[in-house]
Amino acid sequence: MRIFIRIILGIVSLAVLALGIFLVPPHLQTQGIEPDLPNEQALRDLMAEEDGPIAVRYVLSASQDVRGRQLAHTTFLVEWANGNLFAIDAGMDENGAAEFADLMRGISGGGDAQFFGTLGKQLGPELQRVKGIGFTHLHIDHTQGITAFCADRGTGTDLLQSNDQRDEHNFNTVEGAELVAKSCLSRGALGGREILTNDAFPGLGLIPLGGHTPGSTLFAVGLKDHLWLFSGDTTNTKTDLVNNRGKGFLYSGVFVPENTGRTEDLRLWLTGLDTNADVDVVVSHDLEALLATGMPKFGE
Ligand SMILES: [Zn+2]
């Protein structure tokens, strides 16, 4: 019996050791990505852009009840007076949403996915107005919908993406990175340093963040009277953001290798900005907090 217990302990130790070794490179990688952040005035300068965006609306592609709250899969559409739209994240198609809901159920419980339609389905002919797209990060729940998007849209959409997001991947961003790389998108040019911009989309800024994934990016949208900051999955809920709560060891250490020092810095930075009456930080998956901002839904 004793020898049996020893063998089991030996196998468990080896498995833990192997997992540890597997996780070292992605942690070292993400620890090394901490780009400088812009100050508040630089963000507010986006609001002063001539011909800046005139509206932001959301599209809900799917949601899942997880312990009484709605885990939402959202796309945000930025609109300009010339009719152009820019999409932030692509959501998922119906199969993707069902598979992701299964995965979530395995990790933390939760109900079936509710699916409301791909971007093509929900936008109809307006899909042709989407001239640009960007991803808060390359996890599959933000990127998988790009395949359906391309099938409906064809060419003509520019991808705005930081170099880190294009080049730095780990075991749970490679799949999304591949989908994006082989998609219908062509990469648009970006200028600037802390805030990356593209002339075709004045008032829109990309701020490389790191933290959650190596390529995590904040999208800042400067309307004339309101600054929207799309923080992706830096936190999973708005409450965690404003209360400076991390995601716990299993999530940040094992499932999603995060730079936790960085995500804490980002929580504090974003909470500070969010205290302004004319600034809203929007957390990708938090439907309740999104609805509380009063952002209109596309088509309503
Ligand atoms: Zn996500």
| 9-26 confidence digits (pLDDT tens) | 888 888 888 888 888 888
Average pLDDT over residues 51-71: 94
CB distance 142 to 179 below 8 Å: no
| CB within 8 Å of 44: residues ≥ 6 apart | 222, 227
What spacing in Å lies between the alpha carbon of 281 and ligand 1's midpoint? 16
- The pLDDT score that the predictor gives to residue 4 is 84
Average pLDDT over residues 66-82: 94
What spacing in Å lies between the alpha carbon of 69 and ligand 1's midpoint? 15
- The values of phi and psi at residue 172, to 5°, are -110, 15
- The pLDDT score that the predictor gives to residue 214 is 95
What spacing in Å lies between the alpha carbon of 89 and ligand 1's midpoint? 10
What gap in Å lies between CA 242 and CA 65, rounded to an integer?
Answer: 22
pLDDT band, residue 279 (cuts 50/70/90): very high
What spacing in Å lies between the alpha carbon of 212 and ligand 1's midpoint? 10
CB distance 209 to 217 below 8 Å: yes
CB distance 211 to 43 below 8 Å: no
What spacing in Å lies between the alpha carbon of 139 and ligand 1's midpoint? 6
- Residue 258 one-letter amino acid: E
- The pLDDT score that the predictor gives to residue 300 is 85
CATH number corresponding to 32-293: 3.60.15.10
| CB within 8 Å of 152: residues ≥ 6 apart | 118, 119, 120, 127
- The pLDDT score that the predictor gives to residue 1 is 66
- The pLDDT score that the predictor gives to residue 110 is 86
Which comes out higher in pLDDT, residue 83 or 254? 83
What spacing in Å lies between the alpha carbon of 300 and ligand 1's midpoint? 25
What spacing in Å lies between the alpha carbon of 141 and ligand 1's midpoint? 5
The mean predicted confidence, pLDDT, of the chain is 94
- The pLDDT score that the predictor gives to residue 109 is 84
- Which of 195, 97, 88 is closest to 133 using CA atoms? 88
Parallel, antiparallel or unpaired: strands 158-159 and 186-187: parallel
Which comes out higher in pLDDT, residue 42 or 113? 42
pLDDT single digits (tens) 195-234: 999 999 999 999 999 999 999 999 999 999 999 999 999 9
- Least confidently predicted of 15-19, 166-170, 264-268, 289-293: 15-19
What spacing in Å lies between the alpha carbon of 285 and ligand 1's midpoint? 7
- The pLDDT score that the predictor gives to residue 235 is 95
What spacing in Å lies between the alpha carbon of 34 and ligand 1's midpoint? 20
C-alpha dist (Å) from residue 5 to 10, 15, 201, 251? 8, 15, 63, 29
Average pLDDT over residues 103-117: 88
Average pLDDT over residues 84-95: 96
Average pLDDT over residues 124-147: 97
Give this prediction's pTM: 0.94
- The pLDDT score that the predictor gives to residue 85 is 98
pLDDT band, residue 290 (cuts 50/70/90): very high
Average pLDDT over residues 81-91: 97
146-153 helix and 174-181 helix, angle to the nearest 10 degrees: 10
